[in-house]
Amino acid sequence: MRSRLTGLGIGVVFGVTLSWSGMTSPVVIRQALLFQQAYLFLFFASAVLVATVGLLILRRRQTRALISKQPVTWNRESVGRRHIVGSLVFGLGWGITDACPGPIVTQVGQGILWGVWTLAGAILGVYLYLRRDQPETEPAVERPVTTMA
Protein backbone atom coordinates (compact mmCIF):
# COMPACT_ATOMS: atom_id res chain seq x y z
CA MET A 1 0.00 0.00 0.00
CA ARG A 2 2.86 2.36 0.85
CA SER A 3 4.38 1.92 -2.63
CA ARG A 4 1.03 2.73 -4.26
CA LEU A 5 0.69 5.92 -2.22
CA THR A 6 4.27 6.85 -3.10
CA GLY A 7 3.49 6.26 -6.79
CA LEU A 8 0.33 8.33 -6.52
CA GLY A 9 2.26 11.18 -4.90
CA ILE A 10 4.95 11.11 -7.58
CA GLY A 11 2.27 11.01 -10.28
CA VAL A 12 0.46 14.03 -8.83
CA VAL A 13 3.71 16.03 -8.63
CA PHE A 14 4.56 15.00 -12.20
CA GLY A 15 1.10 15.98 -13.44
CA VAL A 16 1.21 19.37 -11.70
CA THR A 17 4.67 19.99 -13.18
CA LEU A 18 3.44 19.11 -16.68
CA SER A 19 0.43 21.38 -16.28
CA TRP A 20 2.38 24.25 -14.76
CA SER A 21 5.08 24.10 -17.46
CA GLY A 22 2.56 24.23 -20.31
CA MET A 23 3.30 20.70 -21.51
CA THR A 24 -0.41 19.88 -21.73
CA SER A 25 -1.04 22.65 -24.24
CA PRO A 26 -1.31 21.40 -27.81
CA VAL A 27 -0.16 24.83 -28.97
CA VAL A 28 3.14 24.55 -27.05
CA ILE A 29 3.68 20.98 -28.25
CA ARG A 30 2.81 21.82 -31.88
CA GLN A 31 5.13 24.84 -31.90
CA ALA A 32 7.96 22.68 -30.59
CA LEU A 33 7.34 19.90 -33.12
CA LEU A 34 7.36 22.50 -35.91
CA PHE A 35 10.63 23.95 -34.48
CA GLN A 36 8.95 27.31 -33.88
CA GLN A 37 10.19 27.46 -30.29
CA ALA A 38 12.83 25.61 -28.30
CA TYR A 39 11.03 25.66 -24.94
CA LEU A 40 9.83 22.05 -25.04
CA PHE A 41 13.16 20.63 -26.18
CA LEU A 42 15.09 22.64 -23.59
CA PHE A 43 12.69 21.37 -20.93
CA PHE A 44 13.23 17.77 -22.13
CA ALA A 45 16.99 18.24 -22.34
CA SER A 46 17.18 19.57 -18.78
CA ALA A 47 15.09 16.62 -17.53
CA VAL A 48 17.29 14.11 -19.37
CA LEU A 49 20.47 15.74 -18.07
CA VAL A 50 19.27 15.77 -14.45
CA ALA A 51 18.01 12.17 -14.67
CA THR A 52 21.21 10.93 -16.33
CA VAL A 53 23.52 12.55 -13.82
CA GLY A 54 21.33 11.46 -10.92
CA LEU A 55 21.12 7.83 -12.06
CA LEU A 56 24.86 7.66 -12.72
CA ILE A 57 25.55 8.94 -9.21
CA LEU A 58 23.07 6.47 -7.68
CA ARG A 59 24.59 3.59 -9.66
CA ARG A 60 28.16 4.55 -8.80
CA ARG A 61 27.29 4.76 -5.09
CA GLN A 62 25.55 1.35 -5.34
CA THR A 63 22.34 2.81 -3.95
CA ARG A 64 19.16 0.76 -3.60
CA ALA A 65 15.73 1.92 -4.82
CA LEU A 66 13.56 3.39 -2.07
CA ILE A 67 10.46 1.28 -2.72
CA SER A 68 11.70 -2.03 -4.16
CA LYS A 69 15.08 -2.03 -2.38
CA GLN A 70 16.63 -3.35 -5.62
CA PRO A 71 20.09 -2.06 -6.61
CA VAL A 72 19.96 0.88 -9.02
CA THR A 73 21.43 -0.67 -12.15
CA TRP A 74 20.62 -1.34 -15.79
CA ASN A 75 21.90 -3.33 -18.70
CA ARG A 76 23.04 -1.64 -21.87
CA GLU A 77 21.59 -3.00 -25.05
CA SER A 78 22.24 -2.13 -28.67
CA VAL A 79 19.60 -0.40 -30.74
CA GLY A 80 17.34 -2.93 -32.43
CA ARG A 81 14.48 -2.92 -34.90
CA ARG A 82 11.93 -2.72 -32.07
CA HIS A 83 13.49 0.53 -30.84
CA ILE A 84 13.35 2.13 -34.28
CA VAL A 85 9.76 1.00 -34.97
CA GLY A 86 8.64 2.00 -31.46
CA SER A 87 10.22 5.44 -31.85
CA LEU A 88 8.50 5.96 -35.18
CA VAL A 89 5.09 4.89 -33.83
CA PHE A 90 5.54 7.05 -30.72
CA GLY A 91 6.60 10.06 -32.80
CA LEU A 92 3.74 9.60 -35.24
CA GLY A 93 1.22 9.42 -32.39
CA TRP A 94 2.80 12.44 -30.74
CA GLY A 95 2.62 14.42 -33.97
CA ILE A 96 -1.00 13.48 -34.66
CA THR A 97 -2.34 14.07 -31.15
CA ASP A 98 0.02 16.83 -29.99
CA ALA A 99 0.52 14.86 -26.77
CA CYS A 100 2.51 11.98 -25.32
CA PRO A 101 1.32 9.70 -22.46
CA GLY A 102 2.15 11.99 -19.53
CA PRO A 103 0.35 15.05 -20.87
CA ILE A 104 -2.60 12.91 -22.02
CA VAL A 105 -3.32 11.77 -18.46
CA THR A 106 -2.71 15.30 -17.18
CA GLN A 107 -5.18 16.69 -19.73
CA VAL A 108 -7.81 14.24 -18.51
CA GLY A 109 -7.03 15.23 -14.91
CA GLN A 110 -7.50 18.88 -15.86
CA GLY A 111 -10.93 18.06 -17.27
CA ILE A 112 -10.01 18.61 -20.92
CA LEU A 113 -12.64 16.54 -22.71
CA TRP A 114 -10.70 15.73 -25.89
CA GLY A 115 -7.92 14.28 -23.71
CA VAL A 116 -10.31 11.41 -22.96
CA TRP A 117 -10.36 10.43 -26.66
CA THR A 118 -6.59 10.64 -26.89
CA LEU A 119 -6.28 8.48 -23.77
CA ALA A 120 -8.74 5.97 -25.23
CA GLY A 121 -6.61 5.78 -28.38
CA ALA A 122 -3.46 5.20 -26.33
CA ILE A 123 -5.13 2.44 -24.32
CA LEU A 124 -6.43 0.85 -27.53
CA GLY A 125 -2.92 0.97 -29.01
CA VAL A 126 -1.43 -0.77 -25.97
CA TYR A 127 -4.20 -3.37 -26.05
CA LEU A 128 -3.62 -4.11 -29.74
CA TYR A 129 0.13 -4.32 -29.16
CA LEU A 130 -0.36 -6.85 -26.37
CA ARG A 131 -2.73 -8.92 -28.54
CA ARG A 132 -0.27 -9.33 -31.41
CA ASP A 133 0.89 -12.82 -32.34
CA GLN A 134 4.61 -12.13 -31.95
CA PRO A 135 6.57 -13.54 -29.01
CA GLU A 136 7.11 -11.13 -26.18
CA THR A 137 10.53 -9.68 -25.47
CA GLU A 138 12.35 -10.45 -22.26
CA PRO A 139 11.22 -8.40 -19.26
CA ALA A 140 13.51 -5.54 -18.27
CA VAL A 141 13.72 -6.80 -14.69
CA GLU A 142 13.32 -10.39 -13.64
CA ARG A 143 10.88 -10.74 -10.80
CA PRO A 144 11.16 -13.62 -8.37
CA VAL A 145 8.50 -16.27 -8.77
CA THR A 146 6.45 -16.83 -5.65
CA THR A 147 4.43 -19.93 -5.00
CA MET A 148 1.68 -20.47 -2.51
CA ALA A 149 2.04 -23.53 -0.31
Q: Could you report the per-residue pLDDT of 113-134, keeping only the tens digit for each?
A: 888 998 998 899 888 888 876 6
Q: Which residue type is seen at 16?
A: V
Is residue 98 within 8 Å of 121, Cβ to Cβ? no
What is the C-alpha to C-alpha distance for residues 16 and 25, in angstroms, rounded to an integer?
A: 13
Q: Is the pTM here over 0.95, yes or no?
A: no
Q: Could you report the per-residue pLDDT of 26-67, keeping only the tens digit for each?
A: 888 788 878 888 877 888 888 899 999 998 898 888 888 877
What is the C-alpha to C-alpha distance for residues 59 and 55, in angstroms, rounded to an integer?
A: 6
